[in-house]
Homo-oligomer: A and B are copies of this chain.
């Protein structure tokens, strides 16, 4: 499992419109192979910033499967015009080597 991470900058004047568009867009991404979950959260200190987290089975499910799909064109059309600046999207892998017992 990998986590797709982006901080989305959306002017607060367009927040309602963005959240409605996202409600549609999430049904698109949720239909993709390898999709596991998506969450959208809004900044408390910075209400103009949203945190997008998408869990995928593999990196390629996002970077190749989704980004090269027709569905991605719909996602882009729904959402990308809200972003200023355009976000940096990165991927994170859960740290799985944590010992079950605290080490002394």
Interface residues of A (CB under 8 A from B): 2-3, 5, 19-20, 22-24, 26-27, 39-46, 49-51, 53, 59, 90-95, 97-99, 102-103
Contact = CB atoms under 8 A, between A and B. Distances in A.
* Interface hub of A5, A53, A90, A95 (most chain B Cβ within 10 A): A95
7 contacts: A2-B44, A20-B99, A20-B103, A23-B102, A24-B102, A40-B98, A42-B95
Contacts of A2: 44
A3 to B, nearest CB: 5
Contacts of A27: 102
Contacts of A22: 95, 98
Contact of A51 (B5, B23, B97): B5
A90 B49 CA distance: 11
